[in-house]
Chains A and B, each alone.
Chain A
Amino acid sequence: MKTKQQIDRTARDLDPEVHDSNFMGAKLKSERRYNTLFRDYDDPNKLREIAGNVKQHTLEHLDTYLEQAEESFKRNGAQVHYAIDDAAVNAQVLRIMNETGSQTMVKSKSMLTEEVHMLDYLEKNGKTVVETDLGEFILQIDGDHPSHIVTPIVHKNRRGIAKSFEREGLGDYNDDPETITRRARKHLRQKYIDAEVGLTGGNFVSAESGRIVLVTNEGNARFCMAANKIHIAVIGIEKLVPTDRDLGLFINLIGRSGTGQQVTVYNQFISGPKKDSQPHGPEQMHVIFVDNRRTEVLASDCREILRCIRCGACLNVCPIYRQSGGHAYRSVYPGPVGAVLSPLLAGNRFPELADLPKASSLCGACNEVCPVNIPIPDLLLRLRDKAKREGAKEAMKGTPNLGMWATLCSQPTMWKTALSMGHTMNYIPTEMIPHPSAKSWQGARKLPKFEGGEFRKWFKKRAK
């Protein structure tokens, strides 16, 4: 069907095989999430609500907690840096690599590094960077980008991956997922040993203790802190929580919400360089707190989105994401969370992504599954209003003008006249109505029969 919206067009034109991978992957994770959470807790919604309030509280006292976190990290022997934007964080990482005479970096999964295009930047500056998360590694060799926050290659199938491995000299064509995994294990093992720097993100940071939490399944983040001597953690300033005890909420929620695991295989709590008694592990830990427009989001009326813990539950349950896949969102963060966060993080490029908040039927499933209870539909609506006020064209495409309608709805006499006149609609073939919305409606649906004013007539006449 004809459409003016980019996300709708992408969904329409998506390769059916890719559609099915996205769809089934999302559906399965949603089902697992539900089964695990409701098996393990009588009232998971209570947890979601409190976790949301803990994050909201932290965000609304962020200056205090960030200062506390900085002191804690310093006390633990870590070095703390701040970066206002993409250029600043990339330059900071490069500086650390240069100052420590480092050439090679192994990195674990970090959406923030995607956001600031760190990989490209470091490679342009002559460094070698190796993604170690299996999915991210495959994306790196393919020059592709993640389509999902947690399962980055959900849009790919084994045959494509096997071809990429063959091309990269990782063995003859073999599309058995176990063989693919073993080959990556072998290949990356040497990279860990050779690299001087391990770079990670951070899922949570306890301000009280100066501990970053890394949540993974593969064990690659552990390996990014074993043989190498330098550890750099790049962390958005919104990742803070007040205390270690609060982490108990989040490690119980993130795995169950994201993949339906009771708990992810590895939860690492890293607060500084290795102990002297420990033969392996980084001797330096650098924490870089990154803003990159998060303070702008904090100042906006969509600040709740900063609670997000990147579990991907809202993507998995979202009927629009299931149809369009992640790449349709043309940004690092896809799905419902991305539809809010991406336009906000785009700064003055907001108009380019202003259609993202429109890609929702406002069904609220995202809010219902969110482990930190973000009222995503409300935020989407606020952004729709902002787009309309600012005249963002991408957002308005295909949306009927409702000015006349509003006037009609504010004038009862006109309204009733329109209702009685509407009956003529029943006598014309509705497929002929030239209005684009009517055409769009009738691509797949019949219009109901017009019965304007009949109820009111009946109500007045009825015998009581």
Chain B
Amino acid sequence: MSLLHTPPNRPAGKSIQLMSTCLCDAFYADVAQATVEVLEFLGCDIELPDGQTCCGQPAFNSGDWANSRKVVRHTAKVFAGDKPIVVPSGSCAAMIFHGAPLEFEKEADLPVIRALADRTWELLDFIVHGLGVTEWPGKFDAKITVHRSCHLRGTKSPEAMATLLDSIEGLQVEPIDETEQCCGFGGTFAVTFPNISNSMGTLKIEKLIACKPDIVAAADMGCMMHFGGMMEKQGLPQKRMHVAQILRDSLKNAGKI
């Protein structure tokens, strides 16, 4: 992604469509569940379009734009309407609001895709800048580090994430070195460049666990599947959580849900 600029004037009401992402659909059910619980706590009315599959990112990043467009067209159809679309993944959100218009530049249906892009939010950005929430009434006793996923670069999501996490009672968010460095996932990059991807993951894990946190968090299950899978293979003890899970669990701890 280029230095991402989120679309201006996105719709922000509490009636939303949830794009739960293919990774949550296949592997991380609880992350999507936490997203729903968090949004419903905030009073959102959630529609989960049944025909949703994937945002098209794997093919887009691989350079297979013809196939990616096929998937994006499907997504546009499934997510018809004018409600805000909320995505608990920085890269899937960026795929819709930045990647899709890029690969449709020369396509006749660009306006349809543009309209889809212009109402898409990454979850934390939506909570803080869409709904105006700046304090999280949760409680969570833990020391954590956070991986700033690359697809949040240039967006307001990192700031939103910091705002929410910093306001949780008991939660200690430790800074890490070289936040700007990628974890080495990059979609199919992780399998086409396995050696470099692995070296990058090793470096990232080193930074993430340097302060011996209880939990390593991120707002993108793509990154987490990669470096989390590495951590698991290495037998590292730190628990991994999506930020949505921390938000949800902190509400439970505080007796709010």
A and B touch in the complex (CB under 8 A): yes
* Chain A residues at the B interface, C-beta cutoff of 8 Å: 1-5, 7-9, 11-12, 301, 317, 319-320, 323-324, 357-365, 367-368, 373, 375-378, 381-389, 395, 397-400, 402-403, 405-410, 412, 415, 419, 422, 436-437, 440-441, 443-456, 458-459, 462, 464
Cα–Cα, bound, A179→B31 (Å) = 60
Task: Judge whether B74 and A459 touch: CB under 8 Å.
Answer: no
Closest chain-A Cβ to B249's Cβ sits at a distance in Å of 16
10 other A-B residue contacts (CB within 8 Å) besides A403-B67, A440-B191 = A381-B99, A385-B65, A402-B64, A410-B53, A410-B73, A419-B26, A440-B194, A444-B233, A448-B225, A459-B32
Cβ < 8 Å to A, chain B residues 193-214: 193-201, 203
Task: Judge whether B196 and A406 touch: CB under 8 Å.
Answer: no
Task: Judge whether A398 and B191 touch: CB under 8 Å.
Answer: yes
Interface check B226, CB cutoff 8 A: yes
Cβ < 8 Å to A, chain B residues 37-73: 40, 48, 50-54, 56, 58-68, 70-71, 73
Cα–Cα, bound, A382→B21 (Å) = 24
Task: Judge whether A451 and B29 touch: CB under 8 Å.
Answer: yes
Task: Judge whether A365 and B150 touch: CB under 8 Å.
Answer: yes
Interface centre among A7, A8, A395, A407 (most CB of B within 10 A): A8
Supposing A7-B193, A443-B194, A445-B226 touch, asked if A364 and B233 sit within 8 A by C-beta, the answer is no
> Can you report 9 residue pairs joining A to B where beta carbons are below 8 Å apart?
A3-B192, A4-B192, A11-B196, A362-B1, A364-B154, A367-B3, A381-B102, A441-B229, A446-B229
What are the residues of chain B within 8 A of A445 when measuring CB–CB? 201, 225-226, 229-230, 232-233
Supposing A365-B181, A406-B68 touch, asked if A400 and B188 sit within 8 A by C-beta, the answer is yes
CB nearest neighbor in B for A378: B2
Interface centre among A12, A448, A452 (most CB of B within 10 A): A448
Task: Judge whether B185 and A361 touch: CB under 8 Å.
Answer: yes
Cα–Cα, bound, A40→B32 (Å) = 43
Interface residues of B, dominant DSSP: helix
Supposing A385-B103, A450-B26 touch, asked if A363 and B65 sit within 8 A by C-beta, the answer is no
Interface residues of A, dominant DSSP: helix
Partner of B67, one of A5, A11, A395, A406: A406
Task: Judge whether A362 and B61 touch: CB under 8 Å.
Answer: yes
Interface check B4, CB cutoff 8 A: yes
What are the residues of chain B within 8 A of A398 when measuring CB–CB? 191-193
Partner of A376, one of B2, B78, B99, B229: B2
Interface centre among A320, A403, A455 (most CB of B within 10 A): A455
Task: Judge whether B191 and A365 touch: CB under 8 Å.
Answer: no
Partner of A8, one of B105, B182, B193: B193
Task: Judge whether B150 and A3 touch: CB under 8 Å.
Answer: no
Supposing A364-B1, A388-B63, A455-B20 touch, asked if A1 and B198 sit within 8 A by C-beta, the answer is yes
Supposing A8-B195, A403-B67 touch, asked if A364 and B25 sit within 8 A by C-beta, the answer is no
Task: Judge whether B36 and A459 touch: CB under 8 Å.
Answer: yes
Closest chain-B Cβ to A38's Cβ sits at a distance in Å of 12
Cα–Cα, bound, A359→B99 (Å) = 18
Partner of A402, one of B59, B196, B228: B59
Closest chain-B Cβ to A30's Cβ sits at a distance in Å of 8
Partner of A452, one of B25, B73, B102, B105: B25
Interface check B180, CB cutoff 8 A: yes
Partner of B195, one of A11, A382, A399: A11
Interface check B171, CB cutoff 8 A: no
Task: Judge whether B193 and A320 touch: CB under 8 Å.
Answer: yes
CB nearest neighbor in B for A440: B191
Interface check B112, CB cutoff 8 A: no
What are the residues of chain A within 8 A of B185 when measuring CB–CB? 361
What are the residues of chain A within 8 A of B84 when measuring CB–CB? none
Task: Judge whether B230 and A444 touch: CB under 8 Å.
Answer: yes
Task: Judge whether A406 and B59 touch: CB under 8 Å.
Answer: yes
Cα–Cα, bound, A2→B193 (Å) = 9
Interface check B33, CB cutoff 8 A: yes
What are the residues of chain B within 8 A of A454 when measuring CB–CB? 29
Interface check B138, CB cutoff 8 A: no
What are the residues of chain A within 8 A of B191 when measuring CB–CB? 398, 400, 436-437, 440-441
Closest chain-B Cβ to A399's Cβ sits at a distance in Å of 5
CB nearest neighbor in B for A439: B191
Closest chain-A Cβ to B25's Cβ sits at a distance in Å of 6
Cα–Cα, bound, A385→B2 (Å) = 16
What are the residues of chain B within 8 A of A359 when measuring CB–CB? 193, 196
Cα–Cα, bound, A398→B187 (Å) = 13
What are the residues of chain A within 8 A of B64 when measuring CB–CB? 385, 388, 399, 402-403, 406
Task: Judge whether B196 and A323 touch: CB under 8 Å.
Answer: yes
Q: When A and B form their complex, which 8 residue pairs have the shortest distance between CB atoms, in order from nearest? A: A384-B63, A361-B186, A445-B229, A375-B2, A363-B182, A406-B67, A363-B150, A398-B192
Cα–Cα, bound, A7→B181 (Å) = 19
Cα–Cα, bound, A377→B60 (Å) = 12
Supposing A317-B180, A368-B153, A398-B192 touch, asked if A447 and B229 sit within 8 A by C-beta, the answer is yes
Q: B16-36, CB under 8 A of A: which get 1 and which 0? A: 000010101111111011001
Cα–Cα, bound, A4→B198 (Å) = 15
CB nearest neighbor in A for B78: A412
Interface check B190, CB cutoff 8 A: yes
Cβ < 8 Å to A, chain B residues 72-92: 73-74, 78
Cα–Cα, bound, A395→B193 (Å) = 12
Cα–Cα, bound, A235→B154 (Å) = 34
Task: Judge whether A444 and B194 touch: CB under 8 Å.
Answer: yes
Partner of B192, one of A301, A358, A376, A444: A358
Closest chain-A Cβ to B114's Cβ sits at a distance in Å of 16
Task: Judge whether B182 and A361 touch: CB under 8 Å.
Answer: yes
Cα–Cα, bound, A359→B182 (Å) = 13
Partner of A406, one of B28, B71, B228, B230: B71
CB nearest neighbor in A for B224: A448
Cα–Cα, bound, A408→B36 (Å) = 25
Cα–Cα, bound, A350→B94 (Å) = 29
Cα–Cα, bound, A9→B225 (Å) = 24
What are the residues of chain B within 8 A of A376 when measuring CB–CB? 2
What are the residues of chain A within 8 A of B225 when measuring CB–CB? 445, 448
Task: Judge whether A377 and B26 touch: CB under 8 Å.
Answer: no
Cα–Cα, bound, A406→B66 (Å) = 9
